[in-house]
Amino acid sequence: MARVLAQLLLLAVRTDAVGQLVEGTWITRCLHCRSKLWLSETGVPLNGATLEHVVPQSWFDKRGAAELIADLSGPNDERNLALSCARCNQNKGSRHDAKGPANARAREVVTQLKETRLARYRSLDDSSPSSEQ
């Protein structure tokens, strides 16, 4: 697995208020369906966890996404990264991401996911994640 991907997965879980480090394993929930996901301390997915760009990377150069990306520094901004199960991530990609920000339903889905992510967001400056080590 690429080191950059592992770092992004760790950034996503460390900034997720639902994420917990328990005996060397990160435990969190899929942003979409809330199924349980596990990552190793080094960022290796242990059960199909995938990196979710809430606002799709491809939308960052599209005019219709301006309001969705205005507060983000780029696609890999920690507030735009989340974890999802492979099934949910693939469904979002084929159903909404590909349609682009000009599609009203795609914008609605991404807006709602962004709100969910921001509600679960924990700044790295905040206190350490709960741990049961």
Q: What is the pLDDT of residue 132?
A: 47
Q: CA 62 → CA 24, 56, 68, distances in Å? A: 40, 11, 11
Note whether 37 and 47 are within 8 A (CB).
yes
> What residue spans define the domains of the chain?
3-119
The confidence score (pLDDT) of residue 128 equals 56
The alpha-carbon radius of gyration of the chain (Å, integer) is 14
Q: How sure is the predictor about 50, in pLDDT bands with cuts at 50, 70 and 90?
A: very high
Output the pLDDT for position 35. Answer: 97
Whether the Cβ atoms of residue 36 and residue 29 lie closer than 8 Å to each other: yes
Q: What is the DSSP-derived secondary structure letter of residue 53?
A: E
- Tell me the per-residue pLDDT of 53-88, one tens digit each, with 9 for 90 and over: 999 999 998 888 999 999 999 999 999 999 999 999
- Whether 33 has a pLDDT exceeding 80, the answer reads yes
Digit-coded pLDDT (tens) for 90-129: 887 777 778 889 999 999 999 999 999 999 999 988 745 5
Task: Count the neighbouring beta carbons within 10 Å of the beta carbon of residue 69.
Answer: 19
